[in-house]
């Protein structure tokens, strides 16, 4: 059996391209989830995600890696399952049901801030002025595009807003805690076993709602939405994100979440003929500049002379 989670040599552009794909496809997750919640209970959606994704990921992991985690890795994988699957998905879907899609989108840029804070506390990443500046630029750009003045406060959305913010922290911590495990185990194995542990808890909580689903009463649009949520934002994007963490840094992967509003605006411009106003243009420039800055590093042995822009891997 093959052991180890060696990073290997990966062209930087592949990591960036993968992370752009994640944000393009995850950008529609907020809208699709909000739409199908009109016919399904939030816990039904959360339960179906893990009940389908976990077996598929375990089968993929065995086919690709032929690896069993060691006993010492199980507590870490259980922690990843708690943070990235159980807590993350439960808080997101419940929070979205108690707030607006706009509020959820505006809160998402907190992910890179949380990720950097956790990484610095745990000394997973070293403090860097460029890293701070890059994250600040990207977060500012996302907020400019999302127009925080549209954020709704009040009793009706307070609970949901708190859940979404807690979800952001949980996902950020999930990205950071993956690092040590990925040095010993392959990417697909890490994700599959995280889903096994996290999915067991989420399945127990959601099973009564899944059992009462009534498949024959659901519209075709709901089934299409569920298929999209399970296949793309769940199975594929979790693998790509973890693969990128193994080949870069948690803060870089987390900062790419700020790209979601830019991706949504660009798609609307291309396919819906919507115009791009100045907030979208300015915000997009800031996001791209932030990602560029956070990907900058010095050339080895170059002293104080900055090197070419390169991802930190």
List, for residues 143-171, the tens digit of each pLDDT value: 887 777 767 777 678 888 889 899 999 99
Q: Considering its fold, how many domains does the chain have in total?
A: 1
What's residue 13's pLDDT? 80
pLDDT recorded at residue 268: 60
Indicate whether 156 belongs to any domain: yes
Assess if residue 313 is contained within a domain: no
CA neighbor of 162 nearest in space, from 94, 111, 113, 114: 94
For the cut 80, the answer to whether the pLDDT of residue 261 exceeds it is: no
Mean of the pLDDT values across residues 171-182? 91
Residue 296's φ and ψ, nearest 5 degrees, are: -80, 140
CA pair distance 210, 226, nearest whole angstrom = 13
- pLDDT-wise least confident of 20-29, 32-41, 95-104, 146-155: 146-155
6 is a domain residue: no
Is 190 inside any structural domain? yes
b/e per residue 190-212 (b: at least 16 CB within 10 A): bbbbbbbbbbbbbbeebeebbee
pLDDT score recorded for residue 179: 86
Across 14-23, 116-125, 191-200, 258-267, least confident range: 258-267
Helices (DSSP H) in the chain: which residue ranges?
A: 12-36, 42-65, 74-81, 88-97, 101-107, 110-121, 129-146, 155-182, 187-211, 220-229, 237-247, 250-255, 260-271, 278-294
Residues 276, 261 contacting (CB under 8 angstroms): no
Residue 204 phi, psi dihedral angles, 5° rounding:
-65, -45
77 or 10, which is more confident?
77
Mean pLDDT of 207-226: 88
Between 62 and 292, whose confidence is greater? 62
Task: Calculate the dihedral angle through the C-alpha atoms of 202, 203, 208, 210, rounding to the nearest 10 degrees.
Answer: 110
The angle subtended at Cα 162 by Cα 156 and Cα 168, nearest 5°, is: 135
Position 300 pLDDT exceeds 50: no
For residue 276, pLDDT over 70 is answered with no
Residue 10: what pLDDT? 61
* Inside any domain, residue 74: yes
Q: Which two tokens stand for residue 123?
A: 């000394």
Task: Express each pLDDT in 106-153 by its tens digit.
Answer: 788 888 899 888 888 888 777 778 788 888 888 888 888 777 776 777
C-alpha span between 20 and 23 (Å, rounded): 5
What residues make up the domain containing 107? 12-294
Judged on CB neighbours under 10 Å (0-12, 13-18, 19+), 153 is exposed
Helix-then-strand count for the chain, H and E: 14, 0
Burial class (CB in 10 A: 0-12, 13-18, 19+), 25: middle
Band (pLDDT 50/70/90 cuts) for residue 242 is: very high
Is 60 exceeded by the pLDDT of residue 80?
Answer: yes
d(CA 177, CA 119): 9
Q: Quote the CA–CA distance of 101 and 30 in Å, as a whole number.
A: 6
At 309, phi and psi to the nearest 5? -65, 125
Cβ contact 51:198 at 8 Å: no
Cβ neighbours of residue 59 closer than 8 Å, sequence gap 6 or more: none
What does the pLDDT read at residue 311? 42
| Residue at 5 is within a domain | no
Most confident of 26-30, 122-126, 170-174, 265-269: 170-174
Residue 308 falls within a domain, yes or no? Answer: no
Say yes or no to pLDDT of 271 above 80: no
Average pLDDT over residues 54-69: 92
Which of the four pLDDT bands, split at 50, 70 and 90, describes residue 45? Answer: confident
Determine what percent of the chain is predicted with pLDDT higher than 90: 32
Q: Are 240 and 22 in contact (CB under 8 A)?
A: yes
Label residues 286-305 b or e (16+ Cβ within 10 Å = b).
bbebbbebbbbbeeeeeeee
277 within some domain: yes
> Is residue 309's pLDDT more than 80?
no
């Amino acid at each position: 059996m093959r052991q180890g989670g060696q990073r290997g040599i990966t062209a930087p552009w592949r990591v960036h391209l993968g992370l752009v794909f994640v944000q393009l496809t995850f950008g529609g997750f907020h809208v699709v989830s909000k739409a199908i919640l009109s016919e399904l209970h939030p816990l039904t959606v959360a339960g179906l995600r893990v009940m389908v994704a976990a077996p598929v990921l375990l089968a993929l992991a065995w086919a690709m890696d032929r690896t069993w985690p060691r006993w010492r890795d199980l507590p870490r994988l259980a922690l990843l399952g708690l943070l990235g699957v159980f807590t993350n998905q439960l808080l997101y879907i419940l929070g979205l049901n108690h707030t607006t899609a706009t509020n959820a989108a505006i809160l998402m840029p907190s992910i890179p801030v949380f990720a950097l804070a956790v990484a610095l506390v745990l000394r997973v990443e070293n403090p860097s002025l460029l890293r701070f500046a890059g994250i600040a630029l990207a977060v500012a750009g996302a907020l400019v595009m999302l127009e925080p003045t549209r954020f709704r406060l009040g009793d009706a959305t307070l609970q949901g807003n708190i859940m979404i913010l807690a979800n952001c922290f949980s996902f950020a911590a999930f990205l950071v805690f993956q690092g040590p495990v990925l040095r010993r185990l392959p990417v697909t194995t890490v994700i599959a076993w995280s889903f096994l542990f996290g999915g067991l808890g989420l399945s127990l909580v959601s099973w009564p709602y899944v059992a009462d689903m009534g498949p024959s009463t659901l519209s075709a649009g709901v089934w299409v939405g569920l298929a999209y949520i399970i296949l793309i934002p769940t199975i594929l994007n979790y693998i790509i994100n973890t693969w990128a963490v193994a080949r870069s840094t948690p803060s870089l992967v987390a900062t790419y979440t700020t790209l979601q509003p830019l991706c949504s605006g660009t798609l609307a411009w291309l396919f819906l003929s919507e115009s791009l106003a100045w907030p979208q243009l300015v915000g997009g420039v800031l996001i791209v500049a932030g990602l560029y800055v956070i990907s900058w590093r010095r050339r080895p042995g170059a002293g104080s002379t900055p090197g070419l822009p390169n991802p930190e891997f």
